[in-house]
Amino acid sequence: MPPLPTPVPATPTADPAPVVNTLEQGFFWGFIVAAPVILVVLWWMDVIRPSSLAGKGRSAGRHPAMVWLLCGVALWCVQMMAGSLVASLPANWLGPADSLQRLAMITLGAYLVAVPTGLALLYGLGAGATDMRLRGRDAPWGLLAFVLTVPLLVVTSIASVWAATQIAGSPPPQIAHTSLEKILAGLSSGDLWAYGLIVGVVVGAPLVEEALYRGLLQTSLVRLTARPYVSILIASGVFTAIHVTAVPPHGLAVIFVLSLALGVAYERGASLIVPVVMHAAFNAANVAMALLV
């Protein structure tokens, strides 16, 4: 996650640097203090304790673990195949090999097939169970969960950037995802396909990835281990691993912490819409901050 942008006065004074530095310091220490306080309060309220997930969490369904896992593999294959089919379209439809139009069309095409496939699999396996539905009334809980997660993500980002700087001898790039780089390049050149890629990142990716990694993979692990926290850790490891080619090492720490929060929210909230909204808010926030960097 890029550093939070700092507001600048509409009418700059002769020396705005002290104001900016003060705001930066305020944000920095505010998140440093807020992160442990949020963890302590959530633990005290029995929201994130392992016992709360095991005793008050969602139902893991009635199907065996292998069925959930195979459905997850099937969804991943459907997404890959849909993207490959779009990529095989004539070049005059997709544009040049390295164009943003081609990337956006492949991304959107894959999600247009994978989203209904994933939701159909989840609904079929859950047989209408509440934790497999996208209930609109759970969306505010997803936003609240994201707000509570932000300080943890920012502190993780600060620590990972510091570690990367110590190792490499220079600060890592602020834009920590290849998709964000392509979106910014497209917007700066006036390529309207950048907006198509934004839709894929903010809408398509959260729906498909949460259906796959939380709804199917994490559920299969819960069925296998009967330990929600172990399942969340394993699913988060897999979720982080699939981002290795798109996110630099210092950004993977943020992805892992985000995935932990998504997994806990799914188990505790008993609704897939909660991690979907959290994921969408995270991606939207990163796009917005990248535009302001």
The average pLDDT across 234-245 equals 96
Instruction: Tell me which amino acid residue 191 is.
Output: D
> Are the C-beta atoms of 278 and 265 separated by less than 8 Å?
yes
pLDDT of residue 21: 66
Domain boundaries, the chain: 22-292
Local confidence band at 161 (pLDDT 50, 70, 90 cut-offs): very high
Angstrom distance (rounded) from CA 229 to CA 221: 10
Angstrom distance (rounded) from CA 148 to CA 261: 10
pLDDT of residue 20: 46
The average pLDDT across 12-20 equals 50
Would the pLDDT of 16 be above 60?
no
pLDDT of residue 129: 54
Would the pLDDT of 241 be above 90?
yes
Angstrom distance (rounded) from CA 212 to CA 217: 6
What are the tens digits of pLDDT across the range 33-61?
999 999 999 999 988 988 887 755 566 66
Would the pLDDT of 260 be above 60?
yes
pTM listed for this prediction: 0.88
